Amino acid sequence: MKLLKIAAFAVLLLTGCSAIAVEHPGAIPKEDNCSSCHADKSRGKSVHSAMAGPCGVCHLVQTRGDMTTMSLMMPKERICFACHEESAALRLHAPAKDKMCVNCHDSHSSNQKMLLRKLSDLGISVPRS
């Protein structure tokens, strides 16, 4: 498993970091652990296996002076497939075909099965019975 994570990280680095950066308030010391403030990202009925590894597998953290920026290692349309094989079953799944996994699946954790986002987050209404 550790070898897979290292390989995925290498793929992420080699493919470039063209994702949008988000400013994170303040400077973050290198020894700080993201989960000390973002514990909710690793809790839920369904937790992504990547959460067992360092955040740097998917995220690039850069601190300059008193500002830290966070970005994905690669565009969100490609990041899932750095670790997840594009199987025949996924090619039949329309959102996966369009490489928009994160539109329906949370990349960290969820209280829904298969890391699914809440239906209300997807703009889907559920008929009442």
pLDDT in tens, 70-129: 899 998 888 888 888 776 666 667 676 677 888 889 999 999 988 998 765 556 554 443
End-to-end CA distance of the chain: 44
pTM to 2 decimal places: 0.65
pLDDT of amino acid 25: 64
- Percent of the chain residues past pLDDT 90, beyond the cut: 13
pLDDT of amino acid 27: 67
Q: According to the 3-state scheme, what is the secondary structure of the chain?
A: CHHHHHHHHHHHHHHCCCCCEEEECCCCCCCCCHHHCCHHHHCCCEECHHHHCCHHHCEEEEEECCEEEEEECCCHHHHHHHCCCCCHHHHHCHHHHCCCHHHHECCCEECCHHHECCHHHHCCCCCCC
pLDDT of amino acid 126: 45
**Average model confidence (pLDDT) across the chain:** 74
